[in-house]
């Protein structure tokens, strides 16, 4: 086998530098052993005068405009690691239109424009798209779903897909409060100055949309995925989780209905039993668990981000391209109705002022909305004007629990909207 990949790298930051280092230094001999000539000809960066933390070879030119990458007729492969959506869309769409292979780590772009990208690829069938680094950067979950489950039937895919929030929740389990762990995550570089995409679940939303497409063949627009982040989770929730022999994790979930005819996709904190593999996945580590007919349950664990884990996934796509092993980016395509109203047991934390008859009223409201209470948990009262207590339910629909929570919020003894999320069953 002999192939020549002349690469244009768009983005010379943390991940881009890692990609360049692997391709031009540590992996150079490996590509030669494949009979492949792989060379980065140009790197497009925003600031040409910025000091880089990687050495640039003489055959590589730094340019200040990504269009110089797309317009170069010798470049046949574009690696997009610039981030954002607007310009990145121009890069990816422009490269495909010019017949250049594309490798990207941009999950937000892919999730936002998936149908358009698929349609464009159909018009340019010679172009290959690799996006292993877009989801759980250090776990080869994209390649796994593209290849290893084609003879199987996936029923559920769920996991920890954001290292920042998993780091924060791990710290909160030890007793730290939300504000404290957010500041620590920002100081360590895990969280951005504006952490909204991470803490409100938007990052996971884009990732689970891609995995749902891979696992079930269904395009799920991100804005149709019910999404709840961790900003309302408090250390007291971990106290109650311990009473339930469980912990709390922010998960992306996509699962078929029991009859296999509908798909539910959601992002939310979950109550995770201690015996589940996800419960013990701490710090910034990611894990994806796949339930299927043949393999039953399989877990894939690794770093979710970072310079070399993410760069490794990008280079893995490059290796497959050099070997001629890149297949269709989404092997399965089907239509299926979405079911946002999934059924589960639920954890509901109420914050109230102590009054006579509160438990009775809560029970009556639950009955009114068809929610069956499984248990009520309450720590010793230290301040009767600020009490947290928890209701756990029998299996109920999400809409029923939402209606129950909305009704509870209207009561004069309530000090804010109840927090609720599902048990991982």
Q: Got the DSSP string for 159-192?
A: EE--HHHHHHHHHHHTT--HHHHHHHHHHTTSS-
Q: Token digits for 12?
A: 């010379």
pLDDT at 1 over 50: no
Catalytic annotation on 207? yes
Q: Is 417 left (phi over 0), alpha (psi -120 to 50) or beta?
A: beta
Strand-pairing partners, residue 393, are 373
Classify 343-422 by CATH class. alpha beta
Residue 77 CA to residue 7 CA, distance in Å, equals: 5
pLDDT greater at residue 92 or residue 38: 92
Q: Which of 171, 207, 213, 249 is catalytic?
A: 207
Taking only the tens place, the pLDDT of each residue in 170-226 is 999 999 999 999 999 999 888 888 999 999 999 999 999 999 999 999 999 999 999
Q: Token digits for 167?
A: 């780091």
Please count the other Cβ atoms lying within 10 Å of the Cβ belonging to residue 153. Answer: 14
**Average per-residue pLDDT in the chain?**
93
**Fold type of domain 3-138+319-323:** Rossmann fold (3.40.50)
The structure's pTM equals 0.92
Taking only the tens place, the pLDDT of each residue in 11-54 is 988 899 999 999 898 877 788 787 788 899 999 999 888 888 88
Burial of 50 (0-12, 13-18, 19+ CB in 10 A): exposed
Residues of the chain with CATH 3.40.50.720: 3-138+319-323
**Which CATH number is associated with domain 141-301?**
3.30.360.10
Q: Token digits for 347?
A: 């954890």
Position 253 scores a pLDDT of 97
Is the C-alpha dihedral spanning 240, 246, 250, 255 positive or negative?
A: negative
Residues of the chain with CATH 3.30.360.10: 141-301
Taking only the tens place, the pLDDT of each residue in 112-140 is 999 999 999 999 999 999 999 999 988 99
φ and ψ at residue 40, rounded to 5 degrees: -90, 110
Position 193 scores a pLDDT of 84
Q: Are strands 346-352 and 285-292 parallel, antiparallel or unpaired?
A: unpaired
Mean pLDDT of 157-167: 96
Position 100 scores a pLDDT of 97
Nearest-5° Cα angle at 114, 249 to 291: 40
Position 30 scores a pLDDT of 82
Residues of the chain with CATH 3.30.70.260: 343-422
Taking only the tens place, the pLDDT of each residue in 229-244 is 999 999 999 999 999 9
Residue 205 CA to residue 282 CA, distance in Å, equals: 20
Position 176 scores a pLDDT of 92
365 CA to centre of own chain: 35
Contact call for residues 168 and 178 (beta carbons, < 8 A): yes
Taking only the tens place, the pLDDT of each residue in 140-150 is 999 999 999 98
Q: Token digits for 384?
A: 């009767």
Q: Are strands 346-352 and 387-393 parallel, antiparallel or unpaired?
A: antiparallel
């Amino acid at each position: 086998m002999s192939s020549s990949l002349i690469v244009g790298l768009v983005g010379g930051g943390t991940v881009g530098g890692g990609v360049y280092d692997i391709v031009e230094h540590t992996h150079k001999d490996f590509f030669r052993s494949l009979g492949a000539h792989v060379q980065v000809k140009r790197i497009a960066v925003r600031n040409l005068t910025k000091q880089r933390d990687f050495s640039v070879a003489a055959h590589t030119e730094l340019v200040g405009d990504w269009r110089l990458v797309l317009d170069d007729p010798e470049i046949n492969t574009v690696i997009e690691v610039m981030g954002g959506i607007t310009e990145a869309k121009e890069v990816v769409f422009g490269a495909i239109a010019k017949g250049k292979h594309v490798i990207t780590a941009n999950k937000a772009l892919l999730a936002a424009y998936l149908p358009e990208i698929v349609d464009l690829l159909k018009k340019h069938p010679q172009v290959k798209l690799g996006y292993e680094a877009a989801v759980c950067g250090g776990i080869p979950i994209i390649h796994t779903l593209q290849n290893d489950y084609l003879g199987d039937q996936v029923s559920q895919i769920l996991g920890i897909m954001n290292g920042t929030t998993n780091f924060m929740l791990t710290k909160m389990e030890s007793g730290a409060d939300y504000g404290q762990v957010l500041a620590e995550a920002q100081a360590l570089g895990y969280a951005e100055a504006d952490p909204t995409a991470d803490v409100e679940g938007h990052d996971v939303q884009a990732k689970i949309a891609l995995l749902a497409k891979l696992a079930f063949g269904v395009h799920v627009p991100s804005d149709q995925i019910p999404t709840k982040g961790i900003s309302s989770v408090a250390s007291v929730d971990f106290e109650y989780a311990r009473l339930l022999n469980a912990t709390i994790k922010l998960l992306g979930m996509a699962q078929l209905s029991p009859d296999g005819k509908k798909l539910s996709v959601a992002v939310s904190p979950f109550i995770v039993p201690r015996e589940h593999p996800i419960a013990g996945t701490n710090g910034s580590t990611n894990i994806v668990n796949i339930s299927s007919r043949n393999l039953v349950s399989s877990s894939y664990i690794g770093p979710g981000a970072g310079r070399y884990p993410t760069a490794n996934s990008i280079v893995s796509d490059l290796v497959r391209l050099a070997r001629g092993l890149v297949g269709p980016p989404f092997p399965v395509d089907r239509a299926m109705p979405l079911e946002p109203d999934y059924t589960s047991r639920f954890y509901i934390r109420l914050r109230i002022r102590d009054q006579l008859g509160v438990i009775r009223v809560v029970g009556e409201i639950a009955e009114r909305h068809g929610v069956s209470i499984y248990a009520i948990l309450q720590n010793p009262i230290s301040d009767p004007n600020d009490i947290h207590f928890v209701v756990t339910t029998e299996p109920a629909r999400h809409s029923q629990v939402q209606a129950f929570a909305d009704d509870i919020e209207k009561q004069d003894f309530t000090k804010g909207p109840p927090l609720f999320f599902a048990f991982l069953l």
